[in-house]
Amino acid sequence: MTTTRVPGVAAEVIAVRPGPPLTGTVTVDGSKNAALPLVAAAAALGCPVRLNNIPANTDVQTMLALLQESGWHVAQPVGKPTAAVILPTENQPVRPHLPQAARIRASYYLVPALLARHGEARLPWPGGCRIGARGMDLHFKVYEAFGDRSVLDDSGYRVAAARRRYGTVSLVLPFRSRGATVAALLRAVTTGRPLRLGEPNLSPEVLYVLEALQAAGWETRASERLLTLSPPLSAPGPHRTHALGRQHACTVTTACGRAVYDQPPWTGWGGSRS
């Protein structure tokens, strides 16, 4: 196949002309948009979780680095460059300072996990989005439904966790926001409360998160009008692995309730031995 640049036009144009047939195989990377909320879900679950087929993407690497700075351990299984194991640590939590969260829009997915670990989430306004500014007002409405308090200023936002509450959280989204749907799911997980969410977003990225929560023992039901999430009735059993969708966005292995992982050794993210 040959390509020819066509001069004399305002915008650059690439003309593609037929050539010999293409043959061979291509390995498709995992989806960045699916991996980012799954990384946040792994942190929210509070148990060892292995993610496979993670794309080699700057946003995903930044997300994993944010977790490490926030008190989670991110390990890479030896010989598995596209896998990561996310484990909670027993170190005394220190409220993290995360200015690099401004580099990616998906940093807001970390709020529920940060609330569970530190009692608050302090983050700069998310960036890295070429589409332009998109408000987070609906995210804060979700946290308000759980009793959390939000304070906003020009540099970022702070969400403070409410005291322990019980009972089902019910709310209806005014529009089908993917970010707000993920926020509601992960906040339900970190509070251990049932959720009834009206008008949810059921994009593939949200469905992958639901599958991951199911693997950890949560009961989920989803329709176009209502999404429900219920905590596990008992402690999760042995870890299990499942593929998330035909796009193979990621494969998740959960090991909730297990003290050790079954595939050592691994290296710390970035290559150092842990």
Question: Among all residues, which ones are annotated catalytic?
Answer: 129
Residues 54 and 35: their CA atoms lie apart, in Å, by 7
Interstrand relation of 14-17 and 2-5 (parallel, antiparallel or unpaired)? antiparallel
Q: Of 224, 221, 146, 159, nearest to 189 (Cα)?
A: 146
Residues 181 and 187: their CA atoms lie apart, in Å, by 10
Report the Cα 79 to chain-centroid distance in Å: 24
Identify any residues that bridge with 16 across adjacent strands, giving them in sequence order: 3
| Angle of CA points 125, 131, 122, to nearest 5° | 10
Q: 229 and 11 in contact (C-beta within 8 Å)?
A: no
Look up residue 101 and give its two tokens.
């969260």
Look up residue 257 and give its two tokens.
């309730």
Kindly give the residue spans of alpha helices, DSSP state H, lying in the chain: 32-45, 58-69, 111-118, 137-145, 178-191, 204-215
Q: Tell me if residue 217 falls in helix, strand or coil.
A: coil
Coarse DSSP helix, strand, coil percentages of the chain, rounded to the nearest 5 percent: 30, 25, 45
For residue 42, what are the contacts with CB-CB under 8 A and spacing of at least 6? 49, 51, 86, 212, 252
Report the Cα 16 to chain-centroid distance in Å: 38
